[in-house]
Structure 1
Amino acid sequence: MSETPSNPGFDAKTFLSTLTTRPGVYRMLGQDDKLLYVGKAKNLKKRVSSYFSRSLNRRIQLMVSQIEGIEVVVTHTEAEALILENNLIKSLKPKYNILLRDDKSYPYIHLSTDQKFPRLSFRRGARTGKGRYFGPYPSAGSTRETLQILQKLFSVRQCEESFFRNRSRPCLQYQIKRCDAPCVDLVDEETYAKDVRHAVLFLEGKANRVIDELVARMESASQTQAFEMAALYRDQIKRLRRIQERQYVSGEGGDLDIVAVSLIGSSACVQVFFIRSGRNLGNKSFYPGIPSRANEASVLSAFVSQYYLDKPVPSEIILNKEPTDRVLLQEVLSNQSGHKVRISSRVRGERARWLRMAEGNAALALKARLASRIDMEGRLEALQQALDLPELPARMECFDISHTRGELTVASCVVFNEQGPLKSDYRRFNIEGITPGDDYAAMQQALERRYTRIKKGEVPLPDILFIDGGRGQIGVVEESLRELGISGLTLVGVAKGADRKAGMEQLFLLGSSTPIILPADSPALHLVQQIRDEAHRFAITAHRQRRERKRRTSVLEEIPGIGPKRRQRLLRQFGGLQELARAGIEDISRVEGVSQKLAEQIYQTFHGED
């Protein structure tokens, strides 16, 4: 049996002779104490020795050759080692470990239980408040979609508590028959409680029980000749049955996750389908960073331990491959969750059909991701050729400015690399202290704030800096960069061409008198357009958010003739600024102390720009 080559600076034999046989976690360190790998072991001596006593694949050999030290932490059990390993991988992100990049908490639907008229709401983060939580849902969109369905089916309020407490008349939801207006006592507690109970049954996957009760009520209403009420129950039953057809998983019940991995080379995609109370809540894709030559079993083992150890765990997890430590994972997850967790990979019937679907989704998602990367490489090569660059650009930034008549100016900075948009590096800048509408001054301020950080080494210097503008903007940017002492990047101005049509853009390079005009079907032009449009979108979104924040706080204060008392009366009558903004002139003028002229002025304040 051949020996695996190790770093001559590390005496593996001496280290192994002192190593304990107890369970624990080991950390392999390279040059300058750089962390290479974190692993767990039931027997530390046996596991760590295996790296030095037998032939392993090339990736492991490469890692072992870099080892300059190994640190161990002894634990009482292998389960404790698994939890510690998971925490260290997430916090330290070792080079040779499989890394799951997923820092977002999952959304839930929350039902308050400490109120006279409970409320359904969207909730993300720690589940510390009183009440019941349903989920988790794979995305905010699927959670809000379910809330919209509930609003159509059951008259359970979803409004904020401050809105609910300050109503003097029903809001729009009552008028469109999606709320029974408990805020103004148009429904009694007993009737409202029945709707709450039905909503809970629906969220628990017991829609059939809700339908049975509604059928009984419909028949009772028909017998007493309350035909209008019977029609309402009939329509509610129809809506429930349609939704039930769309959302139920045939033949399944309870809570389970279906997890499938697809591998192509050194890229992986993990698909998770969320089944709660027998209902399919949707799916989510993950793209963990994996070392070369990893297999499906090791990826799933790492994924399950990193993903579930700090999240609510369903009673069953179905995987498309048997993980390397299934029994241990079951034990740890059961202890963590407080209920029995079963992990299985050999399933039949409906479960097998859903598992095949998850596998197909994972494979398609990974192929699409890899195809987009290949397309990105082609675009970068075309851009390199078009701009006559010495090498392929690895990082590109683009700035844009957005404002409304010079007010509330916002600058955006978007970043692209060889894989596409790098959204974690996007930045927005609220521009202050300039002449309203002076885009040159706004650009100077944004560049100074961004590139001061680059000068300090906090942010990498891009290879290309795109500016939405022509020669004028290029001159301003070049001057700003020179004052900051920034050099070594390619500066490109993207100006709209004739008639401002897409495909007619002109690219201005610093020092060149004539613009570059690329063909409309050029991959390089498509990349430039994508980057420019993303900067534009990000700037407009940031500006609208800033404008909306200002409107929420000061729009009424800026209207002559509205003092604190009248402002308070308006907000109380409409239940908040959002409802006031939706109101018509006649509705506003009905408020005590508001004349027709003042009502028109208020309406124009909200709608005049549009």
Structure 2
Amino acid sequence: MFKSELIKGAADAPGVYLMRDAAGQVLYVGKAVSLRKRLLSYTRIDQDGARSKTAVMLSKVVRVDTMLTRTEKEALILEAGLIKQHRPRYNVILRDDKSYPHLKVTVQEEWPRLLMTRRVSKDGARYFGPYASPAAMWETLRLLNNLFPLRRCKGEKLPPGQRACLNYQMERCPGPCIGAITPAEYRQRVAQVLAVLEGRQRELTRNLELRMNSAAAALRFEEAALLRDQVRALHQTLEKQVVLSRQGGDQDVFGFARREGQVAVALLFIREGALADKREFVLDEPLDDDGEVLAELIQRFYEPAQRLIPRRILLPFAVAGAAALAEWLTEKRPGPVRLAVPQRGDKKALVSMAADNAAQVLVEQQQRRDGWERLADSIQRSLQLAAPPRRVECLDISNLGGREAVGSLVSFHQGVKEPSRYRRFRIRGQDTPDDYAMMREVLLRHLTRAGAEQVLPDLLVLDGGKGHLGVAQAVVAELNLQDPPALAAIAKDRQGAGERIFRPGRKNPLALPSHSPVLLFFMRIRDEAHRFGITFHRKLRGRKQLSSRLDQVPGVGPARKLALLQKFGSLRAIATASPAELATVAGIGPELAVIIHAHLH
């Protein structure tokens, strides 16, 4: 139970509070109009029948720090900064944003580019997304590259003294490097790209139609034909979008659903009255009531500086601190932002549709959980485990004759990939092809750290046979782990036609049919570990092959190597260049050019 002694002296004023455990770690950061009233509400949790996650957190709290602010909006801003700093375990944190792709327009450059990225940074560029569907993102990128192509060459500045590339010859680049397009025309093209990404296709279509008619009237038929094709392509895109609001305009619509402590939120992006995209969030047993949970999620979602904020945000119910939240969003936009809870008409229908989407997310989550529980029970019976596994990890070793050896570990939680728990290991102690020694090194490193962090898996699967399983048994015994994972290994049979699963204490592998769900799951996680490891291994091999030959040339350091690669693009191109061509690179004179050419040949 939360002790009232922890909040003695709390002021009846707006501010932020930090709940800490015995180690001083911040468990939760919250804001309130009245700190005293908000903290007193936690002392009544037991009587009010709180959900288990809230009670567990409060049982760990040994200290509460408070910070006073002048207004509720200041408390909101301070809370956001403290959550970003401490990343508290019990706050709503949208950890999945980095895994979704964004489209980036480098408007800070003289000649902007359009590209895909998964990393959003404060570099002055415009970011659009995140796209819940990578397929939708790639379709948008293809459309823009076809309608309003921008330059595709790398680097913030145009490479000097270059002739037109193949993209220009194929009409996939306007050719700014050779002066084929003026800066004003290029900026107009960038503005058209931004209009599409901002959801202003109808406005852009009307402008293009006016320009097309004007060009046709002036007998500029080639220009008019190009504009006609752009208008047709945009019309085809608009026909695919579902018009949801007859009033048009941009708005974000939130839907909310709660089921047995789990919360799902669906967010519909309406642009010019049409559904442009959708995002979904699932929160396991969030603290506080629905209004506070939704307010915190809205704050976390719109916090990134690059996020596009519409003028109207529709909500299923009133949220805590709505006035301060609207004021904060207005400053970020900039421009007025209205948080509305519609009661009738089209807007109410939009909120109801978003709520239906949120409820469907919970139904699908439950179906996945039920499916995993059946599979986990089958794994327990087949492998004779003490309990059904929740977290399953798989370890694989990749090497080429012992060189550039790496270990790759993937993690699945309740049957779903857990990328945040994926790990890669560069094997340090072996330069010879000794799989057992490599496996032992990686197991020691991983299990030692996982044991210290208390995040050991329930089941650890090895890509290998009985020998690899024996190595894992020895490592587990050596570490004397408090709650050691169950072990298994998967390997192809001697004919290479089927798969076998080995378990400690069994002489022969498990006899599972080829269509067994247990065997198929083991093959899936083994293939995922192999994929994850082999990409890292290839990257290391490529990096070594690229660097070794240039690094061995006397007089070529990191700066000159970078200049060579920027000029020629690849090691093969450098090797085929003549001494005279090499000498044109900044920092490479005629004498060094001869040395480089001789060394590479």
Superposition TM-score, scaled by structure 2 size: 0.78
1:133 to 126, 134, 156: 126
Report the secondary structure of 2:283's partner residue.
coil
Which position in structure 1 is the counterpart of 2:293? 299
**AA partner of residue 233 (structure 2):** R
1:99 to 78, 92, 101: 92
Q: Is the 8 A contact 1:262 1:296 kept in 2?
A: no
Which position in structure 1 is the counterpart of 2:361? 365
1:465 to 440, 460, 464: 460
Worse-matched range after superposition: 171-180 or 427-436: 427-436
Q: Deviations over 1:315-334 (max 9, x none)?
A: 22212233244234223433
Unaligned runs of 5+ in 2: 583-601
Q: Deviations over 1:118-139 (max 9, x none)?
A: 433456433343xx62534445
Task: State the Cα distance separating 1:412 from its structure 2 match.
Answer: 0.6
Which position in structure 2 is the counterpart of 1:601? none
| CA separation of 1:386 and 1:162: change in aligned 2, threshold 3 A | same
Worse-matched range after superposition: 58-67 or 515-524: 58-67
Which position in structure 1 is the counterpart of 2:48? 57
Report the secondary structure of 1:192's partner residue.
helix
Is it true that 1:492 corresponds to 2:488 in the alignment? Answer: yes
Is it true that 1:390 corresponds to 2:386 in the alignment? Answer: yes
**AA partner of residue 273 (structure 1):** L
| CA separation of 1:29 and 1:128: change in aligned 2, threshold 3 A | closer
Task: State the Cα distance separating 1:388 from its structure 2 match.
Answer: 1.6
1:24 to 6, 10, 15: 15
Which position in structure 1 is the counterpart of 2:586? none
Report the secondary structure of 1:59's partner residue.
coil
Report the secondary structure of 2:488's partner residue.
strand
Which position in structure 2 is the counterpart of 1:236? 230
**AA partner of residue 493 (structure 1):** A
Worse-matched range after superposition: 135-144 or 312-321: 135-144
Report the secondary structure of 1:510's partner residue.
coil
Equivalent pairs counted in the alignment come to: 569
Report the secondary structure of 1:527's partner residue.
helix
Which position in structure 1 is the counterpart of 2:569? 576
Which position in structure 1 is the counterpart of 2:302? 308
| CA separation of 1:351 and 1:148: change in aligned 2, threshold 3 A | farther
Q: Is the 8 A contact 1:468 1:532 kept in 2?
A: yes
Report the secondary structure of 1:475's partner residue.
helix
Q: Deviations over 1:106-156 (max 9, x none)?
A: 8453243552x4433456433343xx6253444594555433322110132
**Partners of 1:243 and 1:533 in 2: CA distance:** 38
**AA partner of residue 540 (structure 2):** R
| CA separation of 1:452 and 1:265: change in aligned 2, threshold 3 A | closer
Alignment of 1:75-90 (within 5 A): 75-88=69-82
**AA partner of residue 93 (structure 2):** L
Task: State the Cα distance separating 1:165 from its structure 2 match.
Answer: 0.8
Worse-matched range after superposition: 264-273 or 141-150: 141-150
Is it true that 1:285 corresponds to 2:280 in the alignment? Answer: yes
| CA separation of 1:166 and 1:143: change in aligned 2, threshold 3 A | farther
Identity of aligned residues (%): 33
Which position in structure 2 is the counterpart of 1:256? 251
Superposition TM-score, scaled by structure 1 size: 0.77
Q: Is the 8 A contact 2:468 2:489 kept in 1?
A: yes
Which position in structure 2 is the counterpart of 1:245? 239
Which position in structure 2 is the counterpart of 1:475? 470
Alignment of 1:130-169 (within 5 A): 133=126, 135-138=128-131, 141=134, 145-161=139-155, 164-166=158-160, 168-169=162-163
* Larger RCO (CA under 8 A, 6+ residues apart): 1
1:267 to 262, 265, 277: 262
Is it true that 1:317 corresponds to 2:317 in the alignment? Answer: no
Q: Deviations over 1:254-311 (max 9, x none)?
A: 543222222111111222233456675522222223248x654343123223433455
CA RMSD of aligned residues (A): 4.4
**Partners of 2:161 and 2:127 in 1: CA distance:** 28
Q: Is the 8 A contact 1:319 1:344 kept in 2?
A: yes
Report the secondary structure of 1:99's partner residue.
coil
Alignment of 1:428-447 (within 5 A): 428-432=424-428, 434-435=430-431, 437-447=433-443
| CA separation of 1:263 and 1:49: change in aligned 2, threshold 3 A | closer
Report the secondary structure of 1:155's partner residue.
coil
| CA separation of 1:592 and 1:27: change in aligned 2, threshold 3 A | closer
Task: State the Cα distance separating 1:513 from its structure 2 match.
Answer: 1.0
| CA separation of 1:336 and 1:373: change in aligned 2, threshold 3 A | same
Unaligned runs of 5+ in 1: 1-5, 582-587, 595-610
Report the secondary structure of 2:505's partner residue.
coil
Q: Deviations over 1:202-256 (max 9, x none)?
A: 3444444544554455556656776555443332222222123335856465543
**AA partner of residue 186 (structure 1):** A
**Partners of 2:51 and 2:562 in 1: CA distance:** 69
**AA partner of residue 283 (structure 1):** K
**Partners of 1:439 and 1:344 in 2: CA distance:** 62
Report the secondary structure of 1:244's partner residue.
helix
**AA partner of residue 120 (structure 2):** G
